[in-house]
Amino acid sequence: MNNKGDILKSWVEQFTEAFLEGNILNAKELLDVYLNDNETTTMDVHQLLTAVMTYIGDLWEQNIITVAQEHIATNVCKYVLHYYHLEVSMPGSLIDSPNKKGMFYCIEDEQHDIGIDMISNIFKEAGWTTKLLGANMPIDAACQLALDWKPDIIGISISIPYHLPKLIKHIQVLNELPHQPLVIVGGRLVYIYDLSLYCPASTIIVKDLSELDKLTGIEFIGEVHI
């Protein structure tokens, strides 16, 4: 083991094994060991877990693991993530509250909600008040909450290419809100397509977690390893 890439690969493999095994306690203990053995930032943890899930997707695509195993791994990942957020990263501990609000969701039919869960919690760590609406959010309901609660930022996640028309609709409707929140978009699709072609200039497309520094108002990034 002689460089950071090899070390990261080894952690990805260990977490993959633990996630596929389906044992939440073992996976939680592995995270404790990882946090103990490494000087990590919150971004390191999120990037590691993202890499693990991407790797699990690759294994599924290559028929090395089954759909059932992928579902088991997803559930363990969610437990580990929530353990990290609730018991390790301590929401709001990094800075005094900036008195800002953010709501975060995936558009209709989009089930990939691990990423938006991470983003909501990164904002929470930065002291923001957040509402995480999760997967499959209907546009009317999202809009009603935005009208009532008036978040400063609305974060939307999209992974699947055929959901793009719905994303465009969401952005159009959110841009008509009277209090003019900042709309930010992220997720697997932003790595595949240039979504700026479909969004008004006021929409921020987030391709890199390091961009969250500017948006949350604090510096999260230590060294980005992935």
Binding residues for ligand B12, rule: CB under 6 A, are 46, 50, 53-54, 56-57, 61, 70-71, 74, 109-116, 118-119, 155-157, 159-161, 184-188, 206, 209
Neighbours of 173 (CB within 10 A): 14
Residue 189, class by beta-carbon neighbours within 10 Å (0-12 exposed, 13-18 middle, 19+ buried)? Answer: buried
For residue 178, CA distances in Å to 94, 137, 150 come to 31, 21, 9
Measured between alpha carbons, how far is 44 from 50 in angstroms, rounded to an integer? 10
Q: In this structure, what are the phi and psi dihedrals at residue 39, rounded to the nearest 5 degrees?
A: -85, 105
Tell me how far, at minimum, the Cβ of 198 lies from ligand B12, in Å.
15
Tell me how far, at minimum, the Cβ of 184 lies from ligand B12, in Å.
5
Q: Who's near 143: CB < 8 A, 6+ residues apart?
A: 173, 174, 177
Nearer to ligand B12, 1 or 67 (CB): 67
Nearer to ligand B12, 1 or 197 (CB): 197
Tell me how far, at minimum, the Cβ of 8 lies from ligand B12, in Å.
14
Nearer to ligand B12, 26 or 54 (CB): 54
Tell me how far, at minimum, the Cβ of 105 lies from ligand B12, in Å.
9
Nearer to ligand B12, 30 or 123 (CB): 123
Measured between alpha carbons, how far is 8 from 142 in angstroms, rounded to an integer? 37
Tell me how far, at minimum, the Cβ of 30 lies from ligand B12, in Å.
17
Nearer to ligand B12, 30 or 121 (CB): 121
